[in-house]
Amino acid sequence: RRAHLVPATFTDFREASDLNTNSAEALPISVKNITKTYGPVHALDDVSLEVKSGEFLTLLGPSGSGKTTLLMVLAGFTRPDCGSLQFGDREVIRTPPHLREVGMTFQSYALFPHMTVAGNVGYPLRLRKTPKRELEERVEQALETVQLGGFGDRRIDQLSGGQKQRVAVARAIVFEPRILLMDEPLSALDKKLRDQMQIELRHLHEKLGMTTVYVTHDQREALTMSDRIAVVNHGRIMQLASPRDLYERPENRFVADFIGDSTFLNVTRDGDQIRYGDMVLRHSAPAPQTGNLLLMIRPERITLSTNGPVEGANNFDAIATEVVYQGDSFLLHARLADGNRIALRGAMLGANITTLPKVDDQLTLSIAAEDTVLIDGSEA
Ligand code: ADP
Ligand code: MG
């Protein structure tokens, strides 16, 4: 059983949960072969996806990739051309939005400007004809959950961006939906507040435990918050994996490019060996079967070696072409003997600026076998 919307002052969750009338388990979501076209545009192109019960899953992709469309299909506001959608073992593709028990925050906050905070948060309960006393109790609980206790009488235009966002979240969770959908909830906030709200929303998810599908175009936000991430492009899922697997083992060039920075070098297959020019690469994970093989190099996974090649690693001779001090780290651009360029990011650690390499320095760049990642470079 999941925890319920209880103010922090409640210590006995069992007693508190008796206040709730529709206590329910989180639900898994099963999306099968969903397609949605707008004229010639494939907003969703045969999307299949399983979200586990209680999971925090993020849809990550560039603008126009189909994220909002998929969320709208889950909520029931958009009817797909074909495909199936199950919540638990119930097919819901024909179920109207208000019967799906789904809470949602929209890309624009979509608050009612003429209502108070409590008016906004209570709206889903009024739709459900919740009795007045219970409604008031639940609204206050939801507001306390998003740390806006006592703000019920405020007008929406008296709130900051972050507070408005919290009101939108409170409205989405007030009727204890079994599924929570959030469409780029933090994109309008400045960086500091966004970082803080990411952690808060993640804590809220841990507390409430509802199955959550979250949308963002910000890869760092996705890595920070998610149990798993589905990378979306042109209405298709390019890869669905944990943050760590996506970052360290991207399956294709799009994912490798979209998440984190990387340098890509063309490599060739020679029997069992993978070569970069004359150099036989050491790599711990198998190379994908493809005619278009790329070596993906993350800038922070390169070691700058000042006393020659590192044993057991892949070593590249290079010349520094640019060195940029960036406070907590430094960025170095280097040119390999064949003219290819590599970017490296180093931690400042104890080093100070006088020990940084200088332009035209001869360097050895070393990449450990486990950081030598080979990906399919074919365009998707
Ligand atoms: P995202 O949320 O990832 O930015 P959307 O799901 O909003 O992307 O849009 C995906 C694609 O579908 C885009 O090309 C967009 O222009 C198109 N699209 C979305 N909604 C409509 C609509 N109501 N009418 C026509 N085209 C739409
Ligand atoms: Mg969108």
Q: How far is the CA of 216 from the centre of ligand 1 (A)?
A: 15
- By three-state DSSP, how is residue 287 classified? coil
Q: Specify the range with the lowest mean pLDDT, choosing from 8-12, 46-50, 155-159, 168-172.
A: 8-12
Please give the share of the chain, as a percent, with pLDDT higher than 90. Answer: 70
Q: Tell me which residues have their CB closer than 6 angstroms to ligand 1.
A: 38, 41, 43, 61, 63-69
Is the pLDDT confidence value at 20 over 60? no
Q: How far is the CA of 77 from the centre of ligand 2 (A)?
A: 14
Is the pLDDT confidence value at 238 over 90? yes
Residue 347: predicted pLDDT: 77
Mutate to test the pocket of ligand 1, among 41, 60, 78 (most ligand atoms within 8 A of CB): 41
Residue 193: predicted pLDDT: 83
pLDDT band at 227 (very low <50, low <70, confident <90, very high): very high
Residue 3: predicted pLDDT: 40
Is the pLDDT confidence value at 107 over 60? yes
Nearest CA to 71 out of 59, 63, 86 is that of 59
Residue 351: predicted pLDDT: 52
Please give the share of the chain, as a percent, with pLDDT higher than 70. Answer: 91
Nearest-CA residue for ligand 1 atom 15 is 64
The set of residues, in sequence order, having a beta carbon less than 8 Å from that of 7 and lying 6+ positions away, is 140, 141, 144, 145, 149
Q: How far is the CA of 34 from the centre of ligand 1 (A)?
A: 15
Residue 12: predicted pLDDT: 31
- Taking the CA of 38 as reference, the closest ligand is 1
Instruction: Give the residue-averaged pLDDT of 281-309.
Output: 89
Q: How far is the CA of 215 from the centre of ligand 1 (A)?
A: 14
Atom of ligand 1 at shortest distance to CA of 69? 6
Number of helices and strands in the chain (H, E)? 9, 21
pLDDT band at 318 (very low <50, low <70, confident <90, very high): very high
pLDDT band at 350 (very low <50, low <70, confident <90, very high): low
Residue 189: predicted pLDDT: 83
The set of residues, in sequence order, having a beta carbon less than 8 Å from that of 195 and lying 6+ positions away, is none
pLDDT band at 220 (very low <50, low <70, confident <90, very high): very high
Instruction: Give the residue-averaged pLDDT of 166-190.
Output: 91
Instruction: Give the residue-averaged pLDDT of 139-151.
Output: 91
Residue 269: predicted pLDDT: 92
Nearest-CA residue for ligand 1 atom 22 is 38
pLDDT band at 16 (very low <50, low <70, confident <90, very high): very low
Instruction: Give the residue-averaged pLDDT of 130-140.
Output: 95
Q: What b/e string do you get for 77-89 counting C-beta neighbours within 10 Å, with b at 16 or more?
A: ebebeebebbbbe
- Taking the CA of 72 as reference, the closest ligand is 1
Nearest-CA residue for ligand 1 atom 24 is 38
Mean of the per-residue pLDDT values of the chain = 89
Q: What is the rounded distance in angstroms from the CA atom of residue 310 to the CA atom of residue 153?
A: 65
Q: What is the rounded distance in angstroms from the CA atom of residue 323 to the CA atom of residue 351?
A: 14
Q: Tokens in use for 19?
A: 């206040």
Q: Specify the range with the lowest mean pLDDT, choosing from 26-40, 253-267, 343-357.
A: 343-357
- pTM given for the model: 0.86
pLDDT band at 315 (very low <50, low <70, confident <90, very high): very high
pLDDT band at 352 (very low <50, low <70, confident <90, very high): low
Q: Tokens in use for 82?
A: 């074909």
Instruction: Give the residue-averaged pLDDT of 1-30.
Output: 47
Is the pLDDT confidence value at 222 over 50? yes
Q: How far is the CA of 375 from the centre of ligand 2 (A)?
A: 29
Phi-psi region at 260: left, alpha or beta (left = phi > 0; alpha = psi -120 to 50)? left
- Taking the CA of 60 as reference, the closest ligand is 1
The tens digit of pLDDT for each residue in 360-379 reads 999 999 999 999 999 998 87
Q: How far is the CA of 47 from the centre of ligand 1 (A)?
A: 15
Is the pLDDT confidence value at 24 over 70? no
Atom of ligand 1 at shortest distance to CA of 217? 3
| Residue whose pair of structure tokens reads 């332009």 in the numeric block | 359
Atom of ligand 1 at shortest distance to CA of 215? 2
Instruction: Give the residue-averaged pLDDT of 99-104.
Output: 92
Residue 235: predicted pLDDT: 98
Residue 110: predicted pLDDT: 87
